[in-house]
């Protein structure tokens, strides 16, 4: 059993997509093991996105993630990291599979609704930040 970290970003919460998103993970067959609604602090945002420090979109990304409450979750199951990434879709909603969350509900790479850890090690690191 693998665990992954998933976070519904502020735009996903503001657009009332929490139930829709959770339902998709449940129907995929993943198991919800932890869930928390919170406001991300600057320290948490920097730690979460430290691989992107220095990139042109970094400051906007931090402001975006702090712009309202998020829903942080741990999902577990067989190959949970990859399963979650496939439900979520590509980073840029324009390139995401139309059936994925980003493909169906987003248009803009800088407002892409949801985060999913990209590896089991990232998931462990991110879970420690939020739980
Ligand atoms: P991921 O969320 O699919 O793992 P990453 O490359 O890790 O994608 O980027 C983290 C987040 O940074 C993205 O989800 C998106 O919110 C934002 N982001 C990534 N690339 C860009 C960009 O080129 N312009 C604006 N925002 C970006
Ligand atoms: Mg990433």
Ligand nearest to the CA of 114: 1
Q: Is 123 helix (H, G, I), strand (E, B) or coil?
A: helix
The residue whose CA is least distant from atom 20 of ligand 1 is 109
Residue 111's pLDDT is 98
Query: Chain centroid to CA 38: how far?
Result: 14
Q: For residue 118, which atom of ligand 1 is closest to its CA?
A: 4
pLDDT tens column, 10-46: 999 999 999 999 999 999 999 999 999 999 999 999 9
Residue 103's pLDDT is 98
Residue to probe by mutation, ligand 1, list 49, 53, 57, most atoms within 8 Å of CB: 57
Q: What angle do CA 85, 92, 53 make, to 5 degrees?
A: 85
Structural domain boundaries of the chain? 2-130
Tell me the average pLDDT across 119-128. 98
Q: For residue 91, which atom of ligand 1 is closest to its CA?
A: 3
- The answer to whether 49 touches 61, Cβ cutoff 8 Å, is yes
CATH 3.50.50.60: does it fit domain 2-130? no
Hey, what are 67's tokens? 């712009």
pLDDT tens column, 55-91: 999 999 999 999 999 999 999 999 999 999 999 999 9
Q: Which residues lie with the beta carbon below 6 Å from any ligand 1 atom?
A: 57, 61, 91, 109-110, 112, 115, 118
Given 30, 96, 115, 127, the catalytic residue? 115
Distance 115 CA to ligand 2 centre (A): 7
């Amino acid at each position: 059993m693998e665990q992954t970290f998933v976070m519904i970003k502020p735009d996903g919460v503001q657009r009332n997509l929490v139930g829709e998103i959770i339902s998709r993970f449940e129907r995929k067959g993943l198991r919800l093991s932890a869930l928390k609604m919170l406001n991300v602090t600057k320290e948490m945002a920097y730690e979460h996105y430290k691989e992107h420090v220095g990139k042109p979109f970094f400051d906007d990304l931090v402001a975006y993630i702090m712009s309202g409450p998020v829903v942080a979750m741990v999902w577990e199951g067989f190959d949970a990291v990859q399963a979650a990434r496939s439900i979520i879709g590509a980073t840029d909603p324009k390139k995401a599979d139309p059936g994925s969350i980003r493909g169906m509900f987003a248009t803009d790479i800088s407002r892409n609704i949801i985060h999913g850890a990209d590896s089991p090690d990232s998931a462990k690191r991110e879970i420690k930040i939020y739980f």
